[in-house]
Amino acid sequence: MQKRTLGSSGLEVSALGLGCMGMSHGYGKPGDKTEMISMLRSAVERGITLFDTAEIYGPYTNEALVGEALAPLRDQVVIATKFGFRLGPDGAQNGVDSSPNRIREAVDGSLKRLRVETIDLLYQHRVDPDVPIEDVAGTVKELIAAGKVKYFGLSEAGAQTIRRAHVVQPVTALQSEYSLWWRRPEQEILPLLEELGIGFVPFSPLGRGFLTGKIEANTRFDKSDFRFGLPRFAPEAVKANQALIDLLRVIGEKHNATPAQIALAWLVSQRPWIVPIPGTTKLSRLDENIGALSLALTSADLREIEGATAAITLQGERYPEKMERMTGL
């Protein structure tokens, strides 16, 4: 397995991580616990070292799953989790909350569920407009000094927020959506991360499954599936955006590769400090994703992709307006 370092922090991880959310949350019925534990351990056997979870996934259940699965393999893995939401007594999400006391409470809970003494990489899940980012970074800095956290990250934060946080506590990684399906980070975020020496961990690098080529206009999602209410998964948008899948298939035929593999190979080729975290509950998909790392897209391939995608206008917003406002982008 190839390794990459997240920015100038020195945190070395596998060139491809594993997003664990879908094992417990967001994409319909949670996976069978025994099967998911086996899946996580199989990922380690294949060289995956970066595993991504969050307090809110479940909530709580995904951290517990990851903790149980990886406890025997603790010295081989880097576990990332997130804080930043207010949760009710029943676990229901009740808005963002990155107040210092809430951060400390979240970290103590995550440590127990993950069965670790230290969280390797701790992200603020979403920017809290009511708490200065300096206070957030300062609280994480204290947690690092206390030995509860090793590295600090941000998720879906804007350029100025990243810059301000980095002054107080160096930011090791930014986690935000980035793929051929969503390229906004190229405008401001990638240049800033390069300037500051911050790694980039793209979530949804396969466009929540769209870039696998397995989703068609007649695909229907259950209401328990996060994609049910997303504009880009409306039938008319899926149909219009098939041009992107057609492109990936054309490039894939040259390399005997799937659309998903081409999409991931393109992503890792953008910068040497980008580490995507595609999620899956199937071992065959994990192997497919790992196979993308052995592809060597040529400069001609990259130019072809760039030229063709420039001519494609993707239809549908990635989030409903209310959800988009929760991001800092």
Active site residue 57: yes
The two structure tokens encoding residue 230:
């997303």
63 contacts: CB under 8 Å, gap ≥ 6: 53, 54, 55, 57, 81, 110, 113, 114
**Tokens 């103590």 map to which residue?**
108
3-state SS record for the chain: CCEEECCCCCCEEECCCEECHHHCCCECCCCCHHHHHHHHHHHHHCCCCEEECCCCCCCCHHHHHHHHHHHHHHHHCEEEEEECEEECCCCCEEEECCCHHHHHHHHHHHHHHHCCCCEEEEEECCCCCCCCHHHHHHHHHHHHHCCCEEEEEEECCCHHHHHHHHHHCCEEEEEEECECCECHHHCCHHHHHHHHCCEEEEECCCHHHHHHCCCCCCCCCCCCEHHHHCHHHCHHHHHHCHHHHHHHHHHHHHHCCCHHHHHHHHHHCCCCCECCCCECCCHHHHHHHHHHHHCCCCHHHHHHHHHHHHCCCCCCCCCCHHHHHCCCC
Taking alpha carbons only, the member of 21, 5, 12 closest to residue 56 is 21
**From the candidates 27, 57, 60, 151, which is the catalytic residue?**
57
Taking alpha carbons only, the member of 168, 169, 130 closest to residue 152 is 169
Catalytic residue IDs: 57
